[in-house]
Amino acid sequence: MDDTAAGSKGVLKKTGIFKAFKIEINAPQITESLLWLVFLIGVLVKCTYFQFSTKLNTKPWFSTSNSGMLLSSLSALLAISSLLLLFFYRKRLVAMLATDILLTLLLLADTLYFRYYYNAITIPVLYQIGLVSSITDSAKSLFRAKDAIFLIDFPVFSAGLHLMKKLNTGRHLQKIRPVRRILSAVLALCVSFGLFRAAYAKSTPGAFPYDNNYVINSMGILYFHYYDIKRNVQERYFADHTLKEEEKAVLDSWFKTKTSVAGGRYEGAAKGRNLIIVQMEAIQQFVINAKFNGKEIAPNMNRFINESCYLDNFYYQVGTGNTSDAEFLTNNSLYPLRDGAVYFKFPTNTYESLPRLLKRQGYSSYVFHANNPSFWNRTEMYKAVGFDKFISSRDLVIDEQLGWGLSDKSFLRQSLEKIDPSVPFYGFFITLSSHHPYNYFDDYDGFDVGAYEDTMTGNYVKAANYVDQAMGMFLEDLKRRGLYDNSVIVIYGDHHAILKDQTDMLKNLIGFEFSEYNWTKIHKTPCFIRFPGMKDTGVNSTICGEIDLLPTIANLMGFDAPHALGKDIFS
């Protein structure tokens, strides 16, 4: 080839340093370089969008606190680019585009998942992939118009690939020398390593095992996925999970020396009574005693405060198992997993659970939920927890559809009819109608939300009001059946209702102004505890959570719960 490269379409003249080093500068090569730059910048923008839209990182964009995340994200993309150069020759642009698409899908999935669970997708979460078909409506509601940023680089790719096709790029791609390709890949890896070391030095790796979100905040979402895969491979294939004798001794010592739940003013106060627990879907504490457009959102629960102990500092403690984690906490007084759901990862364990403890006292136990019995792997898990009977959607008449299934009003009424009250019983009821995204209440006319009609704010207020009506009817039904004054009654909300990026709606509802501190403060759900003869009714501001329900109930009903991790709220 001569200096003018006249025989090759799009090749520019070689002069000076380019001629000395035999470097050809041609239009296809320039176009390809620009496409690699678009790949790097485009995916980096998407990574940054995830970090800031989830509020894991906050402005200013290029602050010192964000520098580690940005450097680490760029490092990861350079490493990926180098691998594409090394392992793909003629198809490297196809591989680059395929990688861009895969990373885009992953980042979009992370964004949607985080909006609901406040965690990125992890390997254990993939065990729960079967839930996806059941949460389609909820997933759709998580999309935002600004998520169009995930398409930012694809129009440029299309134009660039079209241009390269016109420039006879097939021949050009084949002519890149292996040495040049390897040197480019090695250079990218070296720069990547340098950026990674700089980012890693700014973080605190010792904190990584304790907080996934800290890993993402300090090192970026791409590094987190690498870290998560590495951690799970180590735990699954290389870690020794055998309980060592010294570890067992520490546990035995702790359980022997921990404060007993027995004692206090209410010890045995409800011995021999029935136990009724209602776990309300997505009802948060801020709806209690709140008014919207001058009307009480939850008048029945507001009245119930005077007939029960209302815990106004009751915090939900769920992980990515959400509703199933709340059930697990209540029935076992054990903490859920950091990643994934106990219901999927440990459904074959034998638990020292509330149903089993009550069975030793001569109780029968029921669990009621108007959803598919396989959802959250409940069929198997309820066997492990020790419930005698599981009443699901298959056992109920779907005479009133609302949201995900049978309406709460019909569900609670039908469920009570399934109980045999001739022997002491434990009934655990899990409601469903107020499940996110609340759009099932668009046509609900039981509560006027005025200007907030057809908004997330208005629909959630309607949902909370509907659940309150269902609870009012349920309490009246208990009275008619003679169960109200012969039972311990516990009613609580299971987890959050409002997503972090939707806190503006709380400004209209309760005057909420977002900050991390205020966000943590509203992680409370209502909790009511009532038993016959209870004297100290009204508000109780003891700080507590779902893990404390089992030991509190055990003390009230006069039996011990030696392996509960929680405390008796009343002691």
What is the spatial distance between Cα 108 and Cα 209, in angstroms, rounded to a whole number?
25
Reported confidence tier of residue 176, pLDDT bands at 50, 70, 90: low
Q: Tens digits of per-residue pLDDT, 95-145?
A: 999 999 999 999 999 999 898 888 889 988 887 776 654 566 677 788 899
- The pLDDT value given to residue 19: 52
- The pLDDT value given to residue 17: 46
User: Helix 27-53 and helix 92-117: axis angle, to 10°?
Assistant: 10
Mean pLDDT estimate for the chain = 88
Reported confidence tier of residue 3, pLDDT bands at 50, 70, 90: very low
Reported confidence tier of residue 182, pLDDT bands at 50, 70, 90: confident
Residue 363 scores a pLDDT above 70: yes
Q: Tens digits of per-residue pLDDT, 426-435?
A: 999 999 999 9
Q: 275 and 487 in contact (C-beta within 8 Å)?
A: yes
- The pLDDT value given to residue 2: 42
Q: Tens digits of per-residue pLDDT, 542-562?
A: 999 999 999 999 999 999 998
Poorest-pLDDT segment among 5-14, 19-28, 215-224: 5-14
Q: Tens digits of per-residue pLDDT, 406-423?
A: 999 999 999 999 999 999
This prediction has a pTM of 0.81
Q: Tens digits of per-residue pLDDT, 369-397?
A: 999 888 888 999 999 999 999 999 999 99
How large is the average pLDDT for residues 155-173? 70
- The pLDDT value given to residue 512: 84
124-133, 164-173, 343-352, 354-363, range with greatest mean pLDDT:
354-363
Q: What HEC string does 466-513 produce?
A: HHHHHHHHHHHHHHHCCCHHHEEEEEEECCCCCCHHHCHHHHHHHCCC
What is the spatial distance between Cα 554 and Cα 547, in angstroms, rounded to a whole number?
13
Residue 59 scores a pLDDT above 50: yes
